[in-house]
Amino acid sequence: MTQLKNKHFVLGLTGGIACYKVAELCRALIKEGATVQVVMSEGATQFITPVTMQALSGRPVFISQWDSRESNNMAHINLSREAHAILIAPASAEFVAKLLHGRADDLLSLMCLARPIDQVPLIVAPAMNREMWSNPATQRNIEQLKADGAYVLDVGAGDQACGEIGDGRMLESHEIVEALKAHFTQKVLKGRRVLITAGPTYEAIDPVRGITNLSSGKMGFALARACKRAGAVVTLISGPVSLPTPDGVERLSVVSAQQMYDHTLSKMHSADVFIATAAVADWRVSAVVEQKIKKSAENSAPRFDLIENPDILKAVASSPRALSGELYCVGFAAESENLEKLATAKRIAKGVPLLVANLGPQTFGLDENALLLVNEHGTRQLPWASKEDLSAELVKEIASKLAN
């Protein structure tokens, strides 16, 4: 299940052009299974209408602390008590200063001050001009807000509505949603360093042709996000895919199996967990042709000698750190038949404590999967679900093994 399902957010808007992004943010939260109650400052209504936010959230929008719809006239109490979190997006420089000093001269600031601090986290997504953001007063306010327990998101950089370029943009909706998921994920891998390989490899035949496979990399990237959310420091070694790098993850892009092997061995010495989701090519041509191979006059097909690529998982699993238990190794296997039998044999052959298997042709390129977990005690099926949800289950499995 998604981390935001059944969560209730009070979404507070303050005055700023970034209010236009909040329409998409509201939709994204609801798509994740959350409910959203919008509270706007008077300034925010100059940039986006309450009608728009009511239509998107499906709830009446609150603006005034004197709103008569509340029977006890205490919207600042009632709204904050119902929330799993209060998210201020965008948070203007003025509102950040107001939060810092505990001012409460409108419904939104009053609600933030009145919230139960130990039960309802305050999450702040700043948005302002680059000079306002870099001003020492703003930076002091941001640091003090963090010290007071608020969860302050980063800002983006780029073109600003004023025509200037720099830091201070509010994060995009997908970045804020990711930050919220991380916030609500148990940090079961806190302090751990996780190394993940993902995607296919590509073995060149000539400058325009090569040997590859149908792996999309989606499972490995989902695992990288899940590990990061769980508190790990994550390094992702990816073959040639077009997926965006998960927030907060170090990514190393490679092409061939040999490149992936070299990067993996150079990074494994500082890792606590190695997860080999990459679909590494088993063979490569013995000699890459320097120019594009042309059809011959006789129209005969060229022939190639293949040599075996290094076995990345087996090399890591047989290393002293893995054998001593310092490095926990997880392998992946994509099969087309006899899944349990072949996966069990592969786990033993690779020498890993956990092997995760699936029927590759049924899931390549999709956002869903079904997995079979194989360890020394037997097998466990994870039924068809999103790769995001399966990754969260795998993180729990790995964390439990590390704890033991």
Instruction: Name the region of 73 (left: φ>0; alpha: ψ -120 to 50; beta: rest).
Output: left
Give pLDDT tens digits for 161-202: 888 889 999 999 999 999 999 999 999 999 999 999 999 999
Q: What local confidence, expressed as pLDDT, does residue 345 receive?
A: 95
Task: Enumerate domains of the chain plus CATH numbers.
Answer: 8-183 (3.40.50.1950), 193-403 (3.40.50.10300)
Residue 319, pLDDT > 70, answer yes
Distances (CA, A) of 104 to 38, 86, 113, 155: 18, 15, 7, 25
Residue 117, pLDDT > 70, answer yes
Please tell me which residue in 19, 162, 227, 329 is annotated as part of the active site: 162
Give pLDDT tens digits for 361-389: 888 889 999 999 999 999 999 999 999 99
Q: What local confidence, expressed as pLDDT, does residue 1 receive?
A: 52
Residue 162 annotated in active site: yes
State pTM to two decimals: 0.89
The more confidently predicted of residues 126 and 363 is 126
Mean pLDDT for the chain? Answer: 94
Q: How confident is the model at residue 299 (pLDDT cuts 50, 70, 90)?
A: low
Give pLDDT tens digits for 84-104: 999 999 999 999 999 999 999
Q: What local confidence, expressed as pLDDT, does residue 72 receive?
A: 83
